[in-house]
A = this chain, B = another copy of it.
Amino acid sequence: MTRAIVLFAHGARDPRWVEPFEAVAARVRAAAPDCRVALAFLELMAPTLVDAAAGLVGAGATRIDVVPLFLGTGGHLRRDLPPLVEALRAAHPDVDIHLHAAIGEHAVVVEAMAAAAVAAAGFGE
């Protein structure tokens, strides 16, 4: 099995917006060095999820984990993402595709955001 992770983000017009997402991708690559790691975007930035997955499959991926780098689970993840994942499964029926929860719903991320907010406001912990 050749594994890949797609970090799926919203996208924005401002190219500087993507910097923390690229930082996350670099850390995931470091933590999972045998795994290909790609960013993909819902809109306004490239590549799309479909294009990113096609590249990973072309490079040999047989399992792709899609991790949404969204804080909450709203319309983008409930309505927009599922048909994209279904399109991936239809396009790549031999590839095992796993869709995960919004990154903001993980306790470690909630804790980190709270710690960062408290520190930014100048409160000790």
Contact = CB atoms under 8 A, between A and B. Distances in A.
Interface of A: 3, 5, 7, 9, 12-14, 16-21, 23-24, 27-28, 31-32, 35, 65, 67, 69-75, 78, 98, 100-106, 108-123, 125
A47 to B, nearest CB: 17
A70 B21 CA distance: 12
A101 to B, nearest CB: 7
Nearest to A71: B20
B98 A116 contact: no
A118 B12 contact: no
Given A20-B104, A27-B111, A110-B20, A13 B75 contact: yes
Given A17-B73, A18-B72, A103-B113, 7 more contacts: A12-B72, A27-B111, A31-B118, A65-B120, A106-B112, A108-B116, A112-B112
B65 A121 contact: yes
Contacts of A122: 65
A112 B108 contact: yes
